[in-house]
Amino acid sequence: MKFDELEKVMRGYETAHDDYVPAGTYMIARIDGRGFTRLTKETCAFEAPFDIRFRDLMVETCKHLMNCGFKVIYAYNQSDEISLLFDLHINAFGRKLRKYNSLLAGEASAKFSLMLGQVAAFDCRICQLPTQNLVVDYFRWRNEDANRNALNAHCYWQLRKEGKSQNETTSFIEGKSLAEKEALLQSRDINFKTLPLWQKRGTGLYMLEEERIGFNPKENKEVISTRKILKTDYELPQGDAYSEFLWQLLKSDAD
């Protein structure tokens, strides 16, 4: 078989299962750390249950992903998980799923590894959502999941620090209600409601318009200009207030 013919055949096999996201469909990339429990608790010994150093590494990874060739209007992080909401009209790489999954996983892995000084890996999958309502629901889900995970993590590590084994701790908190878990922490003088919001609600990154006061020497007067800045929000709202925040992001993207 001649080279040109061979190449045509091989390209056919290579792209036979290419999937594309239809135009008009929202895409959210879900990027998760692989084996991060061992990485953070054994290899690097980050403070449990939450460590600001680890949070900042994840935030910097988010910033990198927002500036590596994809138009992202919102990045959300909790623990070792990142969710990226793309502009509705993004057409990078022809909206090929294999490109988004491979490149975003690679970019996240490379950035985080370089900052940490250790090999770290992320996987990626694309969630396809046909309506804005479902986009809001997705981030509401992740926001509420962050709250539950934070409560479980504080309970788990508090009991581990008190000498309980992994199995004893898991069995002890399994099946307990949210109120019972909060009471468990309260009995140890830990008020879950007053813990830092970023631990309970995650961190959001998005663009904001900022006003700047300058001076026009020709007209000899102050002038106000605007520029877009990347906001890192460690105090996200919750519940309906979070939904309204998300609707505003979607509205600004549509404008």
DSSP for 95-110 reads GBHHHHHHHHHHHHHH
Q: How confident is the model at residue 18 (pLDDT cuts 50, 70, 90)?
A: confident
The residue assigned the tokens 């250790």 is 118
Which pLDDT score, from 0 to 100, does residue 226 have? Answer: 77
Q: What is the DSSP letter of 21?
A: P
d(CA 88, CA 26): 5
pLDDT band at 224 (very low <50, low <70, confident <90, very high): confident
Model confidence over 158-203: pLDDT tens digits? 999 999 999 999 999 998 999 999 999 999 999 999 999 999 999 9
d(C-alpha 10, C-alpha 18), whole Å: 14
pLDDT at residue 77, rounded to an integer: 98
Q: What is the mean pLDDT of residues 247-253?
A: 90
Per residue in 144-155, pLDDT tens? Answer: 999 999 999 999
Nearest to 107 by CA among 70, 135, 133: 70
